[in-house]
C-alpha cells in the first residue's frame, strides 16, 4: 500500500510525490479510506466483487469484509450484489456509492490544490 495505485507513484520515480490518504472514522471503524475507495472503483469497473478484488490482488473474503463495513457505515448500501448468488453474481455501485466516490475524489483534489504552495516549499527542502 505504500505506493498506491491512486497516485501512480512508484519507488523509482525521481520526482517527489505528495500522497493524500484520507480516512473516515465512524463508530469505531474506518468507514472509508484509500483501500475501500480503490475497491469501490474496481467493483464499478469490473461489475463484480470477485473480479474487482482480483484486479487489485485482494482476496475475495477481504473485499467482502470491506464492502460490509462500508455498507453498514452509510445510510444506504454503497454496493449491491445482483443475481447469481454472492460469489458468482454481478455487483454495482448504488447512486449513493457513486456519490460517495465522487465526494471522496473531490476531497483529495481540493486538498491537493489548497496545499500546493506548502508542498512547493517542502519539496525544495528535499535532497536532489
In the complex, which residues of this chain contact its own copies (CB under 8 A)?
2-3, 7, 9, 11-14, 16-28, 30-32, 72-75, 96, 99-100, 103-104, 106-107, 110-111, 113-115, 118-119, 121-123, 125-127
How near is the Cβ of 38 to its own copies at its closest, in Å? Answer: 15
107: left (phi over 0), alpha (psi -120 to 50) or beta: alpha
Q: Between 24 and 80, whose beta carbon lies closer to its own copies?
A: 24
User: What are 34's three cell numbers?
Assistant: 484509500
Q: Between 50 and 79, whose beta carbon lies closer to its own copies?
A: 79
State how far the Cα of 36 lies from the Cα of 70, in Å rounded to an integer: 8
Nearest to 71 by CA among 50, 96, 42: 96
Q: Between 59 and 111, whose beta carbon lies closer to its own copies?
A: 111
Amino acid at each position: 500500500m505504500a505506493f498506491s495505485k491512486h497516485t501512480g507513484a512508484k519507488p523509482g520515480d525521481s520526482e517527489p510525490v505528495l500522497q493524500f490518504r484520507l480516512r473516515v472514522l465512524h463508530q469505531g471503524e474506518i468507514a472509508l479510506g484509500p483501500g475501500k475507495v480503490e475497491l469501490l472503483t474496481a467493483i464499478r469497473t469490473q461489475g463484480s466483487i470477485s473480479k474487482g478484488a482480483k484486479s487489485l490482488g485482494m482476496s475475495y473474503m477481504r473485499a467482502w469484509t470491506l464492502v460490509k463495513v462500508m455498507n453498514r457505515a452509510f445510510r444506504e448500501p454503497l454496493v449491491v450484489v445482483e443475481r447469481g448468488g454472492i460469489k458468482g453474481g454481478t455487483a454495482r455501485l448504488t447512486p449513493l456509492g457513486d456519490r460517495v466516490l465522487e465526494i471522496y475524489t473531490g476531497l483529495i483534489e481540493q486538498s491537493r490544490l489548497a496545499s500546493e504552495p506548502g508542498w512547493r516549499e517542502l519539496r525544495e527542502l528535499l535532497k536532489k
